């Protein structure tokens, strides 16, 4: 059969042929891609000519293009629109991909050629990006076991295969556990406190499941508002407990898988000569080492904890003054009472703001911002196939009309979709055989679907999320370079969040909000009084929110600085680690590690601190926009030229300094959050 994953695409710009791709095409395509990639590796190894940058390093960079294309499609659809058949295929592919990865990284004659070129690097007349590619290629081999003995290579390969399967199982369990739970409400009195949009969404969820009444799920657009607004405390507790025990015990238990993943990472890093997995993972990051990260987390945590504890006490005092009878707030109370407090303190709630943030208007506003800053235009096109009917595709052009990217947008939740929001790419930017290939960039979110009575309306927080993921997208869209491994978002984890997090700042700028935030029912522009409240409430619970983020970073480092497995189980180890930094009472039996996909299935292991690290970068970077003007073309051009277009073609610390004129200043974040002084 003709395989659309292996044939040249007739779609515009060579876009994936989603209209033709079926599950049965994936396995043959992976096998063909691996076979072709191995043949390309063999031709590099067997080249009779002396090793050179072109015939070894560059040839290696461009090898496996078919496999990259197939992987780029399969693994992205696995997250956005999976089913049991795809999950089974993923498990079958996993050992094949691991074996291929080892075929390259543990290939002795290949490494000898790479090493030969590396050793003569000072005598080669290489451009900056070529020098960087040579250094990164050599380091990658060394960090993936090329210097191991044959015996240790075999052990390393075995561990790598086990780790790949374990992370797959982790993801599968989280998705299945999330989908397995529903709160079925049949008595309308149990809807007390829920805004109309939440009730409508719950009614639609029930209808989709063939049920009467209303259904609350653990998908965040359902779970989050329910915890924030439901007046029915025992139901909030039920939903909270379901959410926080999703993969703790039961059919979709991840507690043992967490330990297995951590144990394998300890063993692999030990084989490679590192004290801990964190030492291995941080070597290539801006932070460089465990000590720097722990010092960084501590320096943010200590001044933030008093603020967080005071905020919790203020919410408790408010709750007690309004009829709450317990002596402490439980975790299922905090979101509810803090929302009530916010409403009383700032006269502001999501229900007031949502009419001004219709999804279509928000999309146009985000595109408009990219136009004002970088000269980009986004035109929706209908001649490019999509993998699901909800997905939209846009042709992105630069100010001079040059095609920059295809941009795929997938906004609504569905059973086969992972929770949260992310940016990814079906194809990265590069120049191959003298011809530039522009990227296929995608953002995936889980925003509220339109209902029978209202369009899709975002909370202000969701609009901020849209800006965040769009910032990642710009990093991919504006990529310029020869080598895809050095362009776009192929940068250290603690730098990759800078382009995304800096974009969030515009969500609070009146000068920007005035341009698009209109009541979808009346066309009324968002009043200045509401914008003032948004600005005033910007740092509401800033201490608490900062501590929550730091707790995730601390937990991540606790798992990945272990030298051997602790005697305690997963839940107990988490409780012990969190006890000194908790600002809420412990809830027995709950844990977030078993669903902490970022570190156990998403590439952020020993790297979750990077969100806060990047917040320091963006607070410092955005202060230049504030100084010169939030739409200043010169600042935007410098940010594009030095950050967005460069990828990691140079050391990112150098790139940042070139943009900002100095190293990042941590105090910029504390000032931005209002966590300085008493």
Tokens of 346: 């700032």
Angle of CA points 36, 66, 402, to nearest 5°: 145
Q: Is the pLDDT at 678 greater than 60, yes or no? A: no
pLDDT in tens, 445-489: 999 899 888 999 999 999 999 999 999 999 999 999 999 999 999
**CA pair distance 623, 378, nearest whole angstrom:** 28
**pLDDT in the model for residue 60:** 98
**Share above pLDDT 70 across residues of the chain, in percent, rounded to a whole number:** 100
Tokens of 357: 């943030």
Overall average pLDDT of the 111-130 stretch: 97
- 613 lies in some domain: no
- Classify residue 434 as left (phi > 0), alpha (psi -120 to 50) or beta: left
- 154 lies in some domain: no
281 and 338 in a single domain? The answer is yes
**Share above pLDDT 90 across residues of the chain, in percent, rounded to a whole number:** 94
Catalytic residue among 136, 462, 469, 509: 469
| Residue 37 backbone phi and psi in degrees, to 5 | -65, -40
Contact of 3 with 26, CB cutoff 8 Å: no
| Residue 535 backbone phi and psi in degrees, to 5 | -60, -45
Tokens of 95: 């050992």
Kindly report the average pLDDT of the chain as a whole number.
96
**pLDDT in the model for residue 195:** 93
Residue linked to tokens 């070597």: 283
Number of domains comprising the chain: 4
Q: Is the pLDDT at 661 greater than 90, yes or no? A: yes
**pLDDT in the model for residue 453:** 86
> Domain span at residue 92?
12-105+107-147
223 and 142 in a single domain? The answer is no
Closest CA to 142 of 163, 119, 115: 115
pLDDT in tens, 568-622: 999 999 999 999 999 999 999 999 999 999 999 989 999 999 999 999 999 999 9
383 and 503 in a single domain? The answer is yes
Angle of CA points 316, 322, 326, to nearest 5°: 50
* CA distance from start to end of the chain: 70
The one-character DSSP state at 53 is I
373 and 327 in a single domain? The answer is no
The domain boundary residue, chosen from 222, 244, 266:
244
In which band, very low, low, confident or very high, does the pLDDT at 667 lie, cut at 50, 70 and 90? Answer: confident
CB atoms within 10 A of CB 400: 6
**CA pair distance 607, 610, nearest whole angstrom:** 6
Specify the CATH number for the domain of residue 484: 1.10.1370.40
**HEC string of 596-640?**
CHHHHCCCCCCCCCHHHHHHHHHHHHHHHHHHHCCCCHHHHHHHH
Overall average pLDDT of the 133-148 stretch: 96
Q: List Cβ neighbours of 59 (8 Å cut-off, separation of 6 or more).
A: 40, 43, 44
Dihedral Cα 393, 395, 398, 401, nearest 10 deg: -170
pLDDT in tens, 263-295: 999 999 999 999 999 999 999 999 999 999 999
Contact of 462 with 361, CB cutoff 8 Å: no
- 566 lies in some domain: yes
- Residue 186 in 3-state DSSP? coil
515 and 402 in a single domain? The answer is yes
**pLDDT in the model for residue 282:** 97
Sign of CA dihedral 450, 455, 459, 463: positive
Closest CA to 199 of 546, 428, 435, 452: 452
**pLDDT in the model for residue 336:** 98
Dihedral Cα 9, 14, 18, 24, nearest 10 deg: 50
pLDDT in tens, 159-202: 999 999 999 999 999 999 999 999 999 999 999 999 998 999 99
Closest CA to 494 of 283, 190, 195, 248: 283
53 and 197 in a single domain? The answer is no
**pLDDT in the model for residue 252:** 98
**CA pair distance 44, 65, nearest whole angstrom:** 15
- 165 lies in some domain: no
Specify the CATH number for the domain of residue 583: 1.10.1370.10
Please, is 81 exposed, middle or buried when counting C-beta atoms within 10 Å of its C-beta (0-12, 13-18, 19+)? buried
For residue 469, indicate whether it is catalytic: yes
- Residue 182 in 3-state DSSP? strand
- 169 lies in some domain: no
97/668: higher pLDDT? 97
CB atoms within 10 A of CB 323: 6
Overall average pLDDT of the 77-86 stretch: 96
**CA pair distance 247, 181, nearest whole angstrom:** 11
**pLDDT in the model for residue 578:** 97
**pLDDT in the model for residue 159:** 97
215 and 277 in a single domain? The answer is no
CB atoms within 10 A of CB 415: 14
**pLDDT in the model for residue 223:** 96
Q: List Cβ neighbours of 469 (8 Å cut-off, separation of 6 or more).
A: 421, 422, 423, 443, 444, 445, 500
Overall average pLDDT of the 98-119 stretch: 97
The domain boundary residue, chosen from 541, 568, 596:
541
59 and 126 in a single domain? The answer is yes
**pLDDT in the model for residue 665:** 79
**pLDDT in the model for residue 677:** 61
Overall average pLDDT of the 323-352 stretch: 94
**CA pair distance 193, 228, nearest whole angstrom:** 9
60 and 185 in a single domain? The answer is no
Residue linked to tokens 């927080």: 461
371 and 505 in a single domain? The answer is yes
CB atoms within 10 A of CB 464: 17
**pLDDT in the model for residue 461:** 93
535 and 406 in a single domain? The answer is yes
The domain boundary residue, chosen from 522, 541, 560:
541
In which band, very low, low, confident or very high, does the pLDDT at 676 lie, cut at 50, 70 and 90? Answer: confident
- 4 lies in some domain: no
- Residue 425 in 3-state DSSP? strand
510 and 572 in a single domain? The answer is no
CB atoms within 10 A of CB 171: 20
Residue linked to tokens 């803090």: 338
**pLDDT in the model for residue 668:** 83
- 506 lies in some domain: yes
**CA pair distance 161, 94, nearest whole angstrom:** 7
Overall average pLDDT of the 99-114 stretch: 96
- 264 lies in some domain: yes
Q: Is the pLDDT at 215 greater than 60, yes or no? A: yes
């Amino acid at each position: 059969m003709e395989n659309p994953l292996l044939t040249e695409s007739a779609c515009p710009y060579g876009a994936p042929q989603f209209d033709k791709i079926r599950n049965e095409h994936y396995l043959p395509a992976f096998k063909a891609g691996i076979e072709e990639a191995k043949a390309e590796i063999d031709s590099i190894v067997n080249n009779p000519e002396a090793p050179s940058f072109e015939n070894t390093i560059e040839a290696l960079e461009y090898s496996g293009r078919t496999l990259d294309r197939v992987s780029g499609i399969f693994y992205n659809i696995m997250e956005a629109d999976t089913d049991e058949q795809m999950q089974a295929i993923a498990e079958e592919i996993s050992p094949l991909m691991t074996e291929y990865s080892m075929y390259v990284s543990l290939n002795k004659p290949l490494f000898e050629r790479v090493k030969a070129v590396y050793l003569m690097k000072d005598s080669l007349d290489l451009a900056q990006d070529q020098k960087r590619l040579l250094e990164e290629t050599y380091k990658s081999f060394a960090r993936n076991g090329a210097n191991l003995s044959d015996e240790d290579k075999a052990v390393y390969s075995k561990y790598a295969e086990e780790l790949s399967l374990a992370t797959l199982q982790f993801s599968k369990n989280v998705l299945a556990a999330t989908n397995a739970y529903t709160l079925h409400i049949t008595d309308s009195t149990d809807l007390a406190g829920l805004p109309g949009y939440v009730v409508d969404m719950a009614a639609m969820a029930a209808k989709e499941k063939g049920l009467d009444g209303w259904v609350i799920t653990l998908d965040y657009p359902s779970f989050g508002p329910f915890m924030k607004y439901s007046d029915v405390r025992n139901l909030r507790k039920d939903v909270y407990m379901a959410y926080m025990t999703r993969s703790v015990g039961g059919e979709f238990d991840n507690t043992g898988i967490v330990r297995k993943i951590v144990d394998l990472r300890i063993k692999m890093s030990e084989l490679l000569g590192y004290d801990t997995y964190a030492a291995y993972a941080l070597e290539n990051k801006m932070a460089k080492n465990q000590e720097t990260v722990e010092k960084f987390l501590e320096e943010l945590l200590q001044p933030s904890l008093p603020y967080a504890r005071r905020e919790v006490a203020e919410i408790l005092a408010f709750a007690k003054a309004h009829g709450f009878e317990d002596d402490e707030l439980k975790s299922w109370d905090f979101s509810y009472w803090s929302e009530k407090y916010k409403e009383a303190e700032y006269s502001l709630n999501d229900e007031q703001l949502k009419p001004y943030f219709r999804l279509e208007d928000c999309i146009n506003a985000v595109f408009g911002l990219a136009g004002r800053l970088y000269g980009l235009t986004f035109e929706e096109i209908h001649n490019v196939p999509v993998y699901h009917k909800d997905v939209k595709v846009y042709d992105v052009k630069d100010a001079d009309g040059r095609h920059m990217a295809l941009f795929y947008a997938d906004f609504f939740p569905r059973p086969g979709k992972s929770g949260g929001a992310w940016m990814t790419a079906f194809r990265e930017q590069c120049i191959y055989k003298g011809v530039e290939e522009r990227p296929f960039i995608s953002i995936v979110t889980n925003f509220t679907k339109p209902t029978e009575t209202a369009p899709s309306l975002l909370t202000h927080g969701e609009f901020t999320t849209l800006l965040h993921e769009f910032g990642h997208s710009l990093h991919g869209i504006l990529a310029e370079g020869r080598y895809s491994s050095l362009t776009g978002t192929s940068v250290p984890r603690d730098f990759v969040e800078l382009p995304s997090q800096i974009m969030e700042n515009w969500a609070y700028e009146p000068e920007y909000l005035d341009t698009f935030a209109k009541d979808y029912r009346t066309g009324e522009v968002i009043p200045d009084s509401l914008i003032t409240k948004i600005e005033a409430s910007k740092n509401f619970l800033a201490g608490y929110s900062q501590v929550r983020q730091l707790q995730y970073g601390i937990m991540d480092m606790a798992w990945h600085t272990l030298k051997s497995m602790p005697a305690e189980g997963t839940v107990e180890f988490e409780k012990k680690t969190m006890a000194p930094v908790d600002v809420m009472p412990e809830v027995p039996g709950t844990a977030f590690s078993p669903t902490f996909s970022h570190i156990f299935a998403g590439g952020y292991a020993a790297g979750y601190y990077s969100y806060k690290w990047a917040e320091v970068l963006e607070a410092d970077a955005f202060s230049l926009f504030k100084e010169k003007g939030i739409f200043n073309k010169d600042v935007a051009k410098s940010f594009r030229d030095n950050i967005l277009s460069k990828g990691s073609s140079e050391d990112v610390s150098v790139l940042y300094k070139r943009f900002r004129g100095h190293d990042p200043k941590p105090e910029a974040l504390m000032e931005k959050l209002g966590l300085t002084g008493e």
